[in-house]
């Protein structure tokens, strides 16, 4: 049976170039490509994981948490959330929630990006990817 080898989230954004550059400058992603003139689609990547941006009318864009409480738009599991948190702060990213200081529980970090999208980064202590 064939294997799925990757997946990418497509975020609807008002300004594709601004969004891709923000991910590059604040979150350490690399801009893989812009498409169209002016760009209406872009792809960014970090550590082999991709996010795509598609231009849309701002009035139509709604983050998931406005539709279903306590949900987000993109989840990443990371191996060192403290270092990543500090990197984002040093790069000037706006962080909505501080890291949960309790050991043995999920440690959450959320970075608010334009159009009220949430990019949470989460580390499960002792979590092993399968």
Structural domain spans, the chain? 8-123
Q: What's the residue count for the chain? A: 130
Range 24-28, long-range pairs (CB < 8 A, 24+ positions): 25/91, 25/92, 26/88, 26/91, 26/92, 26/93, 26/111, 27/88, 27/91, 27/93, 27/111, 27/119, 28/87, 28/91
> What is the per-residue burial (b if ≥16 Cβ within 10 Å, else e) of 110-126?
bbebebebbbbbbbeee
Structure tokens at 5: 């080898």
Structure tokens at 52: 């795509």
pLDDT tens digit at each of 130 positions of the chain: 999 998 899 999 999 999 999 999 999 999 999 999 999 999 999 999 999 999 999 899 888 878 887 777 887 788 888 888 889 889 998 776 677 665 545 555 554 443 334 455 544 433 334 3
Q: What angle do CA 60, 62, 67 make, to 5 degrees?
A: 125
8 Å CB contact between 33 and 42: yes
- pLDDT confidence of residue 54: 96
- pLDDT confidence of residue 12: 93
Tell me the whole-structure pTM to 2 decimals: 0.78
Architecture in CATH for domain 8-123:
Roll (3.10)
């Amino acid at each position: 049976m064939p294997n799925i080898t990757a997946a990418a989230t497509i975020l609807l954004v008002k300004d594709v170039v601004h969004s891709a550059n923000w991910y590059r400058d604040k979150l350490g992603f690399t801009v893989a490509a812009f498409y169209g003139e002016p760009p209406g689609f872009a792809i960014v990547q970090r550590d082999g994981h991709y996010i795509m941006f598609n231009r849309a009318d701002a009035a139509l864009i709604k983050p998931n948490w406005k539709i279903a409480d306590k949900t987000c738009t993109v989840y990443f599991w990371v191996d060192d959330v403290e270092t990543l948190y500090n990197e984002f702060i040093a790069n000037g990213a706006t962080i909505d929630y501080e890291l949960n200081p309790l050991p043995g529980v999920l440690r959450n970090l959320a970075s608010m990006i334009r159009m009220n999208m949430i990019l949470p980064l989460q580390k499960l202590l002792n979590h092993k990817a399968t």
